[in-house]
Amino acid sequence: MKNNFIKIFGVMLVTIASLFSAGCFQAESNLAIDDSGKVTLNTEVMGVPILREHIEGWKNDMERSNRATEISPVSSGNMSGYRITTQYQSIEQFAAQKIDIFGSKTGKAKGIQQRKGWFYDAYSFDFISEAPEDSEEYLDNTLVQSMMPQIKFDMVINIPYAAEKNNAQHVSNDNKTLSWNLASSITSGKDVSVQVQFRIWHKEKIAVTLAAIIILLGAMIYFLRKSQKQTENQADNAEGEAAKNIFYMKICAGLLAAIISVSAFMLINPVTFTDADTISSAVTAK
């Protein structure tokens, strides 16, 4: 995806003199993840008429790759282009796609990393928007520099739960909507890093754990009361039955303590990602 944007930008530089009008090139990548792990990627690209052929080529490439599930024309002022929507059933399926900007790049970006657990799945997104290889040539051009403010290239990531770590330039919606200005990788010739870590909680498993705790507490109370009643009973076997119920109560208490201890460890222990957790397809770094 990023390579296509750079190609379009290259054409824009060649024809720079004809682009002195309001706006010249805009792109936005909006990555939305819901609490079930489904991914929707909306990519919007618009440019002035001189870039129309190349934007059409980008759209056709997306159609041929079978990644586009919905294509809609968009326009703003003298710019026109397309919004392409792609949906994936899981983060794993999305990570398997060889999309340049979201891939794993040796020495530069780890892509998507995943740690699966009982209460949650933890994710680390580490992407990079690389500067064009010939950036030094056009950055020294005064005319090109005058056009830089008209370039817009943003990435927005929406996640279902608050981000635990991130390097976003703008954060909103209780740390669930994060955005980065990637245009600076073009306008300054420096790579831009996109990083965010978050968890997707398993509500049904949390409910099961809470239910188990409640059941064990109830069982403890039941066996304790039963033991007390049997102790008060003057029957010959009352003492033995009381001891048996105390034994059952202790078993429930042990299971309860184990569940609470393991749950606390899972919830409190910080998530640490390693290279083995990377699930992104590898792409070639520049």
**What phi and psi, each to the nearest 5 degrees, are found at residue 99?**
-95, 120
**Residue of 195, 210, 178, 201 lying closest to 273 (CA atoms):** 195
Residue 145 belongs to some domain of the structure: yes
Number of structural domains (the chain) is 2
Put simply, whether the predicted model's pTM sits higher than 0.85 gets the answer no
Residue 228 belongs to some domain of the structure: yes
Residue 275 belongs to some domain of the structure: no
Q: Are residues 121 and 248 in the same domain?
A: no
pLDDT in tens, 100-155: 889 899 889 999 999 999 999 999 999 998 876 665 555 555 555 556 666 788 99
pLDDT in tens, 177-219: 999 998 877 777 788 999 999 999 999 999 999 999 999 999 9
Q: Are residues 55 and 159 in the same domain?
A: yes
Percent of the chain with pLDDT over 90: 50
pLDDT in tens, 220-254: 999 988 888 877 765 556 677 888 888 999 999 99
Q: Are residues 43 and 146 in the same domain?
A: yes
Residue 81 belongs to some domain of the structure: yes
Looking at residue 14, what is its pLDDT?
42
Q: Are residues 135 and 251 in the same domain?
A: no
Residue 133 belongs to some domain of the structure: yes
Q: Are residues 143 and 42 in the same domain?
A: yes
Looking at residue 17, what is its pLDDT?
38
Q: Are residues 178 and 244 in the same domain?
A: no
Range of the domain at 248: 204-268
